[in-house]
């Protein structure tokens, strides 16, 4: 039983960036429900609704104890009518009916599967669904034209949907460090994204690259990518160039949330090291094809042969000595490095909230490039 006095203890800032963050979530039943609805909204290109559910989920995660009654939520920010309805449903019935029906819906399942392909966003997935494509098999059969990213994404679908571990992130970090050392000595690599926040797994690995001498970083990305390519580390890469300084009037006030750093979306071919290997004994990693194929000799019916062939494919997959991992590389000049690290550390909601707070409470504009004081006539970056 929670007393009224305890209820009053929940005093939480409406800005997520002003809250102490924790890995301890006392309300995962509620945050799971709200996060799923946020994800569903995002998958349906309803960004406003997505943010509202993300804010509500983040707020529930920030509470110091488990919520068991609606009365505990009185006066809390970030909880809209819809989120409150979902929370009430979970508290009273154990589950939210809206969440359950979403999870079961054909459209949600298809959106999840299709956007699970690297290079496929909500818009493409929606178009495919309208053409009757709900899964990978139907996509393959449909003869849809796929772009280079999507082809790679489909090819490495299973690998890319398997969470990346911190050990794998560190292994890739060493490769990236070696790459920048080889092309420009003194370059620095920082691990950003979820791993910098202490997450144990991620959907990709994010790196920010710079050089302590301003200007030296110009032209660095193509060289790093060429080195990685020459060493066979890249299964896919697409580099987009810096556009921050492109406007004729010099660095203008950033217009959107997207930054303008030179950036490389890539898929790494990561050789499995000792720490990633399965717990099988050493000699089994040397398994030769003929050892796995041998049982085929004894197969005397088609069905048995089919079984054995399936086993062989599974064996082969489990003995694959490398795996595909999504990696984001970003190059920043040293003068913008601090803002870039902040902007690339995430989470997405934290960054959004930090910018909202800067704008509304401090009359400043924050981006991954700089912090501007809006009261100054010309936009001098704040140092
Ligand atoms: P997982 O990768 O799923 O573990 O989570 P994550 O937090 O690392 O997410 P993600 O890799 O998508 O993004 C990491 C950070 O980079 C987030 O804070 C994003 O806001 C930021 N980010 C990603 N893409 C862009 C971009 O194009 N521009 C800017 N400015 N930031 C970006
Ligand atoms: Mn990431
Ligand atoms: Mn990323």
- The domain limits of the chain are 4-102, 105-155, 164-273+325-344
Residue 87 has pLDDT above 50, yes or no: yes
* Amino acid 47: pLDDT: 96
CB count, 10 Å around CB of 85? 11
* Amino acid 280: pLDDT: 45
pLDDT tier at 23 (50, 70, 90 boundaries)?
A: confident
- Pocket test of ligand 1: the residue of 193, 203, 242 to mutate, having most ligand atoms within 8 Å of its CB, is 193
CATH class of 4-102: mainly alpha
Check if 302 is active-site. no
Compute, in angstroms, the gap from residue 268 CA to the centroid of ligand 2.
14
CATH architecture classification, 105-155: Orthogonal Bundle (1.10)
Residue 145 has pLDDT above 80, yes or no: yes
Share of the chain above pLDDT 90, in %: 75
- The Cα 83–Cα 31 span in angstroms is 10
Q: What is the mean pLDDT of residues 297-325?
A: 71
Compute, in angstroms, the gap from residue 235 CA to the centroid of ligand 3.
17
Burial class (CB in 10 A: 0-12, 13-18, 19+), 187: buried
Residue 314 has pLDDT above 80, yes or no: no
pLDDT tier at 60 (50, 70, 90 boundaries)?
A: very high
- Pocket test of ligand 1: the residue of 21, 118, 191, 206 to mutate, having most ligand atoms within 8 Å of its CB, is 206
Question: Is 294 a pocket residue for ligand 1 (Cβ < 6 Å)?
Answer: no
pLDDT tier at 6 (50, 70, 90 boundaries)?
A: low
Residue 253 has pLDDT above 60, yes or no: no
The full 3-state SS of 106-148, as one line of letters, equals HHHHHHHHHHCCCCCCHHHHHHHHHCCCCCHHHHHHHCCCCCH
CATH H-level, domain 164-273+325-344: superfamily:
Beta Polymerase, domain 2 (3.30.460.10)
Alpha helix stretches (DSSP H) within the chain: 4-7, 28-43, 47-62, 81-93, 97-104, 106-115, 122-130, 136-142, 148-155, 157-160, 166-183, 193-196, 220-230, 289-293, 302-318, 337-345, 348-362
* Amino acid 255: pLDDT: 47
* Amino acid 241: pLDDT: 80
Question: Is 193 a pocket residue for ligand 1 (Cβ < 6 Å)?
Answer: yes
Atom of ligand 1 nearest to the CA of 368: 30
Matching CATH topology for 4-102 and 164-273+325-344? no
pLDDT in tens, 290-300: 344 444 444 45
Q: What is the mean pLDDT of residues 8-37?
A: 89
Question: Is 343 a pocket residue for ligand 1 (Cβ < 6 Å)?
Answer: yes
pLDDT in tens, 165-176: 999 999 999 999
pLDDT tier at 252 (50, 70, 90 boundaries)?
A: very low
* Amino acid 1: pLDDT: 55
pLDDT tier at 284 (50, 70, 90 boundaries)?
A: very low
Check if 328 is active-site. yes
- Residue scoring higher pLDDT (285 or 30): 30
* Amino acid 259: pLDDT: 84
pLDDT in tens, 322-345: 999 999 999 999 999 999 999 999
- The Cα 21–Cα 197 span in angstroms is 10
Mean pLDDT of the chain: 88
Nearest CA to ligand 1 atom 23: 344
* Amino acid 180: pLDDT: 98
Share of the chain above pLDDT 70, in %: 80
């Amino acid at each position: 039983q929670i007393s009224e006095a305890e209820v009053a203890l929940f005093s939480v800032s409406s800005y997520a960036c002003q809250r102490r963050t924790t890995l301890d979530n006392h309300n995962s039943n509620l945050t799971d429900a709200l996060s799923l609805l946020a994800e569903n909204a995002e998958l349906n290109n309803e960004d406003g609704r997505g943010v509202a559910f993300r804010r509500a989920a983040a707020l529930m995660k920030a509470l110091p104890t488990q919520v068991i009654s609606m009365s505990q939520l009185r006066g809390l920010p970030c909880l809209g009518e819809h989120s409150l309805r979902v929370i009430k449903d979970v508290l009273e019935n154990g589950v939210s009916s809206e969440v359950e029906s979403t999870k079961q819906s054909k459209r949600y399942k298809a959106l999840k599967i299709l956007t699970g392909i690297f290079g496929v966003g909500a818009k493409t997935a929606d178009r495919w669904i309208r053409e009757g494509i709900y899964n990978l098999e139907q996509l393959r059969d449909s003869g849809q034209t796929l772009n280079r990213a999507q082809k790679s994404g489909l090819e490495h679908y299973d690998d890319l949907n398997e969470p990346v571990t911190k050990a794998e992130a560190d292994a890739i970090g060493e490769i990236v460090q070696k790459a920048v050392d080889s092309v420009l000595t003194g370059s620095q690599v920082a691990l950003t994204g979820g791993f910098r926040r202490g997450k144990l797994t991620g959907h990709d690995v994010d790196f920010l690259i710079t050089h302590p001498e301003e200007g030296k970083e110009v032209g660095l990305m193509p060289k790093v990518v060429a080195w990685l390519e020459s060493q066979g580390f890249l299964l896919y890469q697409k580099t987009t160039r810096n556009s921050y300084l492109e406007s004729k009037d010099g660095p203008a006030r950033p217009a959107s949330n997207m930054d303008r750093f030179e950036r490389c979306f890539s898929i790494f071919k990561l050789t499995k090291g000792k720490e990633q290997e399965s717990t099988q004994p050493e000699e089994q990693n040397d398994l030769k094809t003929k050892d796995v194929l041998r049982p085929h000799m004894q197969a005397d019916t088609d069905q048995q042969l089919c079984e054995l062939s399936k086993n062989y494919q599974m064996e082969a997959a489990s003995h694959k000595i490398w795996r595909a991992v999504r990696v984001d590389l970003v190059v920043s000049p040293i003068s913008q490095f601090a803002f870039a690290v902040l902007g690339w550390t995430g989470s997405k909601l934290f960054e959004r909230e930090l910018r909202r707070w800067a704008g509304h409470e401090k009359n400043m504009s924050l981006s991954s490039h700089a912090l501007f004081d809006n009261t100054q006539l010309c936009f001098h970056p704040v140092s």
